[in-house]
Amino acid sequence: MKIRDDAGVWVDEEFETLDLGDPRRDRRAKELVKRFASRPAASIPGACEGWAESIAAYRFLGNEHIDWRDMMQPHWDRTTARMGQLPVVLCIADTTELNFNGQDIEGAGPLSYEAQVGMYLHATYAVTPDREPLGVMNAWMWAREPRDANGRRGGVKESVRWIESYEIVAEQAQALPDTRLVYVADREGDIAALMQRAQELGEPADWLIRSQHNRALKGEASLWETVHASKVLGHISFVLPGRSGQKAREVRQELRSQRVTLPGRAGVTLTCVEAYEVDAPAGVKPVIWRLVSNREAGDAHALIELVDWYRARWEIEMFFNVLKNACRVEALQLSQMERVEKALALYMVVSWRIARLIRIGRTCPELDASLFFAADEIHGAHVLCKKARPKKPPTLNQMIRMVASLGGFLGRKSDGEPGAKTLWIGMQRVMDAVITIQILRDGYDTSV
């Protein structure tokens, strides 16, 4: 599999099979992805080169004959191909809100608070157990209907999205017999109907969901208490990343599990895993995770594997973070939901590319940077950092830290590795340098 990821090559490869019914539409879509990837935080006019190209972009997004699903189909196909090369793939599902307050977008609806205006995006994101993002597997985009006079809301029940996304993962699992797919979801996915549907299908894909409901078992027993009363089977330790004013810290958890059959006609049999933090610092809420899965997990190795797979769920949070804060999709100035959906389809692929680059830079730092960056991008980063052009390409980690330094990353020992924000800001500066290098190479007359 080629992993070259420079702005022009990766887009042409990712969208090689694009077919929007007209070669001109295909070319426009690819050019838009390249523009968005080069300047992810810019507005559409800011990402385009000139007014004529901006008008063409808006005309493309407003074309009623183009469906956003057709735009994403090549990426879905490429994602499936990447998945097929691996023994295990985690299929992480989640929903995020896109807040369009202050914008007049036809078709937008209320969010968690009725006064907010926007839409919802539910995506399934494929990653390796080592957390390398492979791509977006499927997505739903919708706006809620306002509540009626009785406080009821029409439209499709939103919990159906979780069941439908599992069904698509199950369908892909049957098409990838040499790859084990694991459907991973947070507490919102703790839906009995989902587990029942998986059982009806024969569970071609495994499922791993954080438990939200302390379900009743036979007699007077409850799920969580039953598991907590069982013996400790193992331990796991990891560093919990800092967030919301809390510093990163080491967490040590005791692991327990029980195999149970839920009461009811469906009779779903599952394993409930409890990861219970011990010796938490004073004044800090212990980290307690209760996970349910169709997989059996009777020893420490199996339990640690399930907890590690659940911890990989953070990757879809990173994906949404890049989509909303790096690509700034909530600031899109588009007048209709259909246009927003088309733009989001392209920005989802761009967000995957950024998130993938960040993750590989952390897990495989010694890879040759030329596998991911074009020669002009490497040259431009060195010029802007006022460093001599190296005789051999830098490592991926060196290149990422150089680019991030252009976005404000200081590189102090306590700073850890660069995050998404400094990387995308730095990449915009690098792309400006690339354009300058290419203009000068073409013989532009710089004399006054």
> Quick one: pLDDT at residue 252?
95
> Quick one: pLDDT at residue 447?
62
CA pair distance 173, 182, nearest whole angstrom? 9
> Quick one: pLDDT at residue 245?
65
CA pair distance 411, 418, nearest whole angstrom? 8
How is residue 208 written in tokens? 């791993």
> Quick one: pLDDT at residue 415?
65
> Quick one: pLDDT at residue 243?
67
pLDDT tens-place values along the chain, 448 residues long: 333 344 557 888 999 999 999 999 999 999 999 888 877 778 898 888 888 999 999 999 999 999 999 999 999 999 999 999 999 999 999 999 999 987 888 988 899 888 889 999 999 999 999 999 999 999 999 999 888 877 788 777 888 999 999 999 999 999 999 999 999 999 999 999 999 999 999 999 999 999 999 998 987 789 999 999 999 999 999 988 766 667 778 999 999 999 999 987 778 999 999 999 999 998 889 999 999 999 999 899 999 999 999 999 999 999 999 999 888 899 888 989 999 999 999 999 999 998 888 888 776 777 777 777 778 888 888 888 888 877 787 888 888 888 888 888 887 766 677 776 777 778 778 877 887 887 888 777 666 5
> Quick one: pLDDT at residue 445?
67
> Quick one: pLDDT at residue 309?
97
Q: What is the pTM of this model?
A: 0.86
CA pair distance 61, 329, nearest whole angstrom? 14
